């Protein structure tokens, strides 16, 4: 059907360019007012109404997610395979090598396998522990939170930032479609974000609620 009497919106290339630009720019769920403006703007390039804009964002968001999911699971699966291979390979090498030496082998540049923990996709795979970052560093103001936490973990890793920052958890995903969810209990090492009470000057001014209250 020709665009002129189509029952549905036929976005022009300009429409798509601009919408995609906005999407990249972070717009996901524009509110009514934004939609109005966008629509007004886009109508310069061709027939369009608000609902088209609305639906476009809805669909685009959903479909990008979908694409991402598929891509990731594919990637991750392959990476896992790789990792497994690598592991076997290394084991093999080491077993042979260390029979006649006490050095440890230098790290192989690109043999680092960076499995992106596709655990939920392929349960039972190699790296079943995924990890998360938590922003809790303290460089100058070591807070007093150690006792609140898993002290054994703390002690064993000392000041090692990585261990502090990382909250290792079992692969059991929390935010995934139910079909992907694992029922296993989490083996979470608890680590709480630190909130220093020392308020720096700029914090006092920039995050002062009274200055920021809009409600």
Which residues of the chain form contacts with DNA (CB under 7 A)? 1, 3, 6-11, 16, 26, 28-29, 51-52, 55-56, 58-63, 65, 131-135, 137, 139, 167, 174-180, 193, 195-197, 200, 202-210, 212-214
CB of 4 to a copy of itself, least distance (A): 18
Tell me whether residue 96 or residue 198 sits nearer to DNA (CB atom): 198
Using the Cα atoms of residue 192, residue 145, residue 140 and residue 154 in order, give the sign of their dihedral.
negative
Q: What angle do CA 101, 107, 113 make, to 5 degrees?
A: 130
Residue 106 contact partner, candidates DNA, a copy of itself, none, CB within 5 to 8 A by sort of partner: a copy of itself
* Residue number, 86 or 165, with CB nearest to DNA: 165
Shortest Å distance, C-beta 104 to DNA: 26
CB of 41 vs DNA, minimal distance in Å: 17
Shortest reach from residue 176's CB to DNA, in Å: 4
Which residue lies nearer to a copy of itself by CB, 107 or 185?
107
181: Cα within 13 Å, side-chain hemisphere: 8
**At closest approach, how far in Å is the CB of 124 from a copy of itself?**
15
**Residue 58 vs residues 25, 33, 63, 147, 178: alpha-carbon distances, Å:** 15, 16, 9, 46, 22
Binding partner at 155 among a copy of itself, DNA, none, C-beta below 5 to 8 Å by kind:
none
Are 54 and 35 in contact, with CB atoms under 8 Å apart? yes
Residues near 53 by beta carbon (within 8 Å), at least 6 away in sequence: 19, 30, 35, 38, 39, 42
- Of 3 and 43, which CB lies nearer to a copy of itself in the complex structure? 43
Separation of alpha carbons 5 and 2, rounded Å: 6
Please give the torsion angle defined by the CA atoms of residues 131, 114, 121 and 124, in that order, rounded to the nearest 10 degrees.
Answer: -80
Which partner from the list DNA, a copy of itself, none does 11 bind, CB cut-off 5 to 8 Å by kind?
A: DNA
């Amino acid at each position: 059907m020709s665009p002129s009497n189509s029952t549905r919106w036929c976005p022009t290339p300009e429409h798509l360019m601009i919408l995609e630009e906005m999407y990249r720019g972070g717009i996901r769920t524009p509110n009514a007012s934004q939609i109005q403006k966008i629509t007004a703007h886009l109508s310069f390039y061709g027939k369009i109404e608000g609902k088209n804009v609305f639906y476009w964002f809805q669909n685009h968001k959903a479909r990008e997610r979908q694409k991402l999911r598929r891509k990731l699971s594919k990637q991750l699966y392959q990476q896992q395979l790789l990792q497994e291979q690598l592991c076997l390979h290394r084991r093999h090498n080491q077993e042979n090598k260390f029979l006649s030496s006490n050095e440890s082998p230098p790290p192989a540049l690109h043999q680092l396998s960076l499995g992106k923990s596709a655990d939920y996709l392929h349960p039972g795979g190699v790296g079943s522990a995924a990890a998360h970052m938590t922003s809790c560093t303290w460089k100058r103001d070591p807070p007093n939170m150690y006792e609140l936490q898993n002290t054994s973990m703390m002690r064993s890793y000392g000041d090692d930032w990585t261990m502090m920052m990382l909250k290792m958890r079992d692969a059991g995903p929390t935010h995934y479609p139910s079909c992907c969810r694992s029922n296993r209990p989490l083996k979470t090492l608890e680590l709480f974000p630190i909130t220093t009470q020392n308020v720096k000057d700029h914090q006092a001014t920039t995050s002062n609620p009274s200055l920021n209250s809009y409600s």
